[in-house]
């Protein structure tokens, strides 16, 4: 199967190539696509070099699937052109997520909404993906009323410039180097916490926070779920962490909660207090699962659970989820 990866030279695009290779996605011909300044450069896939091509050439090559990770404006301009040529687009930007005519998909939760007619499919926000994977089995059993989530998000979610800023600050702190480094954030990130991800909106929340609110309801197909979020950038790599407080309509048994999560697709329970085992970004790094722990009853109100959720934001939060969508389409005979 001919596959295009749009934004192949970026941080997430590179991870897409890695995940396609690791999961043995049946790529018969790869089309790495990027901006004009990158055309002609080599990217490597399964040990072989492939020349980066431009958008028009990629459309002419007629891949079955194009996985986009090139930003919202690029997706808005080019995804419809790919779709018009009969190419199925899986888009990792925010461009199409809340479009009522487009499906927003986390395969473990709502892959069944997909049809052969879906030519632009939205990949959700990284912090939303890992949360709904853990929430879905609990919603089916106890019905979620309200979610309060605070995130602790890796600098890799911002991109290479943010990683360079963190490493530059760390190097300077250790070696008193005067070497310049790019500033992805307004403030230092090393030894700091920045309670802002994306721009502020009129209601005082950030765009990232409102993504979590709206996307959760759309993916879980239940507008009655109330969500409030605080999203925070912290100086780590490897994955995003979330403190999630969930109020259910019905009471729950804590051991049953653990059992439901342990059986849920894509979830790994790490919750052993005597041995101090709980999910951490350093353990989630380069893994595809969503790790859940610190499961405990909220003693301040009934039918409410506290949980800690960690996942690699470049993998399950972006690349792996997109590839899993492709795998589902292939399995159902919708592409190929």
Residue in 139, 217, 240, 285 annotated catalytic:
240
Residue in 126, 139, 217, 285 annotated catalytic:
126
- Specify whether the backbone of 98 is left (phi greater than 0), alpha (psi in -120 to 50) or beta: alpha
Rounded to whole angstroms, how far apart are CA atoms 325 and 75? 17
Rounded to whole angstroms, how far apart are CA atoms 127 and 149? 10
User: Which tokens sit at 31?
Assistant: 């089309």
Rounded to whole angstroms, how far apart are CA atoms 164 and 190? 11
Rounded to whole angstroms, how far apart are CA atoms 40 and 54? 9
How far apart, in Å, are the Cα atoms of 201 and each of 69, 134, 215, 234, 277? 24, 28, 17, 21, 38
Q: Which of 206, 96, 98 is nearest to 151 (CA)?
A: 206
* Residue with tokens 């295009």, as numbered in its chain: 4
Rounded to whole angstroms, how far apart are CA atoms 219 and 217? 6
Asked about 217 being catalytic, the answer comes back as no
Q: Give the dihedral of Cα atoms 100, 324, 138, 301; nearest 10 deg.
A: -70
309 pairs with which residues across the strands? Answer: 242, 292
Decide: residue 198, CB within 10 A, 0-12 exposed, 13-18 middle, 19+ buried: middle
- Specify whether the backbone of 302 is left (phi greater than 0), alpha (psi in -120 to 50) or beta: beta
| Catalytic residue ranges | 126, 240
């Amino acid at each position: 199967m001919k596959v295009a990866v749009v934004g192949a030279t970026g941080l997430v695009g590179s991870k897409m190539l890695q995940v396609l290779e690791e999961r043995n996605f049946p790529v018969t011909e790869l089309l790495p696509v990027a901006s004009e300044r990158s055309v002609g450069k080599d990217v490597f896939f399964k040990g072989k070099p492939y020349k980066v091509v431009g958008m028009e050439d990629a459309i002419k090559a007629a891949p079955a699937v194009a996985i986009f990770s090139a930003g919202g404006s690029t997706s808005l301009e080019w995804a419809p052109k790919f779709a018009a040529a009969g190419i199925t687009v899986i888009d990792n930007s925010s461009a199409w997520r809340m479009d009522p005519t487009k499906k927003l998909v986390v395969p473990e939760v709502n892959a069944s909404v997909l049809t052969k007619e879906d030519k632009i499919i939205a990949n959700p926000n990284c912090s939303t993906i890992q949360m709904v994977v853990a929430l879905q089995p609990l919603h089916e059993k106890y019905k979620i009323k309200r979610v309060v989530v605070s995130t602790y998000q890796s600098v890799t979610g911002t991109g290479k410039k943010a990683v360079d800023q963190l490493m530059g600050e760390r190097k300077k702190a250790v070696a008193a180097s005067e070497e310049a480094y790019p500033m992805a954030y307004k403030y230092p990130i090393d030894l700091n916490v920045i309670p802002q991800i994306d721009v502020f909106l009129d209601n005082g929340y950030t765009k990232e926070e409102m993504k979590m609110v709206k996307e959760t309801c759309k993916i879980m197909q239940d507008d009655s779920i109330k969500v409030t979020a605080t999203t925070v950038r912290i100086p780590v790599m490897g994955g995003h962490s979330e403190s999630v407080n969930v109020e259910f309509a019905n009471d729950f048994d804590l051991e049953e909660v653990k059992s439901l999560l342990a059986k849920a697709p894509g979830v790994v329970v790490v919750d052993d207090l005597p041995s101090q085992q709980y999910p951490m970004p350093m353990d989630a790094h380069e893994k595809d699962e969503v790790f859940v722990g610190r499961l405990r009853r909220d003693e301040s109100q009934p039918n409410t659970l506290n949980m800690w959720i960690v996942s690699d934001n470049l993998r399950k939060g972006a690349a792996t989820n997109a590839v899993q969508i492709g795998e589902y389409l292939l399995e159902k005979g919708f592409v190929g």
